[in-house]
Amino acid sequence: MGKPSIGVAVIGAGMAGRAHAAGYRTASTLYETDLPEVRMVAVADKHEPFAVDAAKRYGYERSETDWRAVVDAPDVDAVSIVVANSLHREIAEAALAAGKHVLCEKPMAPSVPDAEAMVRAAEGTGLVAALGFTFRRNPAINAIRDRIENGELGPVRHFEGHYWCDYGFNPNAPMSWRYKGGPGSGILADTGSHVIDLGEFLCGPVENVRGTVFSTVNTTRPVPLGMAVGHAGGVELSDERETVENEDIATFNLTFAGGATGTIQVSRIAFGSANALGLRVFSQNGSAAFELDRPAQFDVADQSSPANSIGYRQVLAGPSHPYLKGGMAMDFPSVGYGQNEGFVFQARAFLDQIAGFDRLPPCPSFAHGLHNLKVLDAVVEAANANGKAVLV
């Protein structure tokens, strides 16, 4: 890299933006200690109180209300883009043109042409241009992947994935950008992008999509008079209501190039399931399961048990599993970790890439983000085609 330090900034101080900001603060404490100094430079958000609070809370030097101030700043070397999907392209192109490394939250862009433009903007720059798929960093999910690849479980025959949320259950929760953008830009883009990515992480690339069903239950929402972080309510609402433009629920089937079948369900109106990501793989030699509400463990069933004892057994993630040794202050078996640590692992991998280290698996590239968006497009196309199979 040739620089004694890396200046980082976060554009967007909402729920995920705060996770990125906190991740950079902790990243240099993980693994090896030869990472260049990480300088927490700025947090930007058009809503000044959010920017000020996040900058102060996570130890950044200053706050900004315009992302252009971050992109133009000479003391910033790398930026996280954690804002509405419709803004990703403009900010990413400007940051790359200014010589900044970029970590962009998923989904990559509001459309495939936008994502293709972002890929072109990164080509030939020599800069790191990466996508934020944090669940790829979960130690338990990686332990399942290891068992698939080393033959203990063997090739996947059936992948089941779901991500159920309830932030959209209340029809009087405030309107936000998450409810705008047309079919496919709702819960499919929000959490379906994660489940598709995990399906490919465990099973290989998706070949085709079929059987899509979209459902919008809450068709209008009140316009807020204030700002809220993430999915939080608590803001005053106007009497005006606006139309919800995208889906509350999406279900669809996949075929992976390796022959596995996939079934996926995502919802933002699943009452009682605030953040319920789960997956199950049924493989040649056994099966495994993971649920995000128990993030530091996974379940395995294989043929190593006697015939009268076949069933799932609990495995607690520990330092013998990916990312944990040296990745936590207490890297001891069954100490545990949560979703926030995924952002720390991701931040460290991104910083390692910038520094030229290859000790951790790299963050997914812009090219991968474009592929993920093409799969999302195929899901939408399958809905328009009355469920018929659509090639990716």
pLDDT attached to residue 232: 62
User: Which residue segment(s) compose the domain that 241 sits in?
Assistant: 139-294+296-337+371-384
CB atoms within 10 A of CB 200: 22
Q: Return the CATH number at 223.
A: 3.30.360.10
* pTM, two decimal places: 0.95
Q: Could you say which of 84, 109, 135 is where a domain stops?
A: 135
290's CB contacts (< 8 A; 6+ apart) are 138, 140, 141, 144, 278, 279, 280, 298, 299
pLDDT attached to residue 1: 44
Same domain, 153 and 101: no
Same domain, 71 and 206: no
DSSP 365: B
Same domain, 182 and 147: yes
pLDDT attached to residue 185: 97
Nearest-CA neighbor of 198 among 210, 206, 208? 206
Residue 390 lies in a domain: no
Q: Which helix (H) or strand (E) holds 133?
A: none
213's CB contacts (< 8 A; 6+ apart) are 249, 250, 251, 252, 383, 387
Where do we find the tokens 């130690």?
Answer: 139
Residue 353 lies in a domain: no
Edge-to-edge strand ranges of the sheet holding 78-81: 62-64, 37-44, 5-11, 78-81, 101-105, 129-132
Same domain, 209 and 90: no
Q: Tens digit of pLDDT for each residue in 320-361?
A: 999 999 999 999 888 889 999 999 999 999 999 999 999 999
Residue 41 lies in a domain: yes
Domain count, the chain: 2
Beta bridge partners of 159: 262, 281
Q: Tens digit of pLDDT for each residue in 99-116?
A: 999 999 999 999 999 999
pLDDT attached to residue 387: 84
Least confidently predicted of 82-86, 219-223, 230-234, 301-305 = 230-234
The pLDDT of residue 275 is above 60: yes
Q: Are 313 and 301 in contact (CB under 8 A)?
A: yes
Residue 117 lies in a domain: yes
pLDDT attached to residue 141: 98
Q: Return the CATH number at 61.
A: 3.40.50.720
Residue 70 lies in a domain: yes
The pLDDT of residue 234 is above 90: no
pLDDT attached to residue 233: 66
The pLDDT of residue 79 is above 50: yes
Q: Could you say which of 100, 135, 170 is where a domain stops?
A: 135
Least confidently predicted of 166-180, 251-265, 305-319 = 305-319
Same domain, 16 and 147: no
Q: Tens digit of pLDDT for each residue in 119-131?
A: 999 999 999 999 9
Mean pLDDT of the chain: 95
The pLDDT of residue 389 is above 70: yes
